[in-house]
Amino acid sequence: MSQTPSTSPARPRIDWLPKLVVAPSFVLGFLFIYGLILWNAYFSVSASRLLPNYEFAGIEPYINLFESDRFQVASWNLAIFATLFIGGALALGLLLAVLLDQKIRQEGVLRTIYLYPMALSFIVTGTAWKWILNPGLGIEATVRGWGFESFTFDWLVDPDKAIYCVAIAGIWQSAGFVMALFLAGLRGIDDSIIKAAQVDGASLPRIYWRILIPSLRPVFFSTIMVLSHIAIKSFDLVMALTAGGPGFATDLPATYMYSMAFTRGQINLGAASATVMLAVVAAIVVPYLYSELRSTKR
């Protein structure tokens, strides 16, 4: 007489264990990120000066902020830097991606060389370009040493041109990253599209200009979002390269915030500047996240 094997009851799933493990990190992250954002927002409407003062001051710090000549200069510098930085990194990165997309020899070596600056911190980039652009050490001194005594390249110490030096260093840092994004997008396009265009007699430049590059619109959008975020919060690159000078010629909202909060004894102005920067970043990132969430639901 055969015996039916007894079946042991299934062990219950412990769904709460992963949540319990992740909970401390989530709570601490929420507290130290969003809690400090709210704390900074309150400081921006307080009467804080050299030391924290929790007396409510209303929108007076924001009025003083937007009336500050230095903040207006910093905002205008941000507009110049962001335009040159985003436009230059996009153009150079796209050009490098198109060149590497020709499947040239030593592509891996060139790709690594172009990507290498992205592995450096902005502090290292700023320090290196400070040496390169220094009239007494870098390009100007080198060219004059070759016998061209009348050559000048003193943008770093020229208040009207110093912001362009910051843009040059930023483009050099980020162009490789942009190249990698565009190269991935180009490699993801079906080769049959290119072959069909070649059968129709289209030249290679026309294929890129009319077919391939327009199909990279999602990559363009994502890249602009990332570069805009980097431009708005740029701090270490400016501090290492120019420290905001000459004078305040290369001041940005991030360096203005640091100066007001930690060296000028104007905590409420520094907090107000940080809040404005956060609002600008949110105005850029939130629509992007909303569009991404809508596309995933479809």
* Average pLDDT value for residue range 185-194: 83
Asked if the model's pLDDT at residue 230 lies above 60, the reply is: yes
Where is average pLDDT lowest: 32-36, 199-203, 226-230? 199-203
**The pLDDT value given to residue 222:** 87
**The pLDDT value given to residue 296:** 66
Mean pLDDT in the chain?
Answer: 86
Q: Which residue has the higher pLDDT, 243 or 20?
A: 243
* Average pLDDT value for residue range 159-183: 93
**The pLDDT value given to residue 13:** 57
Q: Which residue has the higher pLDDT, 24 or 16?
A: 24
**The pLDDT value given to residue 4:** 53
Q: Are 236 and 122 in contact (CB under 8 A)?
A: yes
The phi and psi torsions of 46 (rounded to 5 degrees) equal -105, 180
> What is the Rg, in whole angstroms, of the alpha carbon atoms belonging to the chain?
26
Q: Which residues contact 242 (CB under 8 A, 6 or more apart)?
A: 130, 156, 162, 165, 166, 249, 250
Q: Which residue has the higher pLDDT, 152 or 291?
A: 152
| Percent of the residues in the chain that have a pLDDT greater than 90, as a whole number | 40
Q: Residue 46: helix, strand or coil by DSSP?
A: strand
Please give the domain boundaries of the chain with CATH numbers for all domains. Answer: 64-297 (1.10.3720.10)
* Global pTM value: 0.85
Give, in order, the Cα–Cα distances in Å from 140 to each of 148, 176, 238, 254: 9, 26, 21, 30
Asked if the model's pLDDT at residue 281 lies above 90, the reply is: no
Q: Are 165 and 140 in contact (CB under 8 A)?
A: no
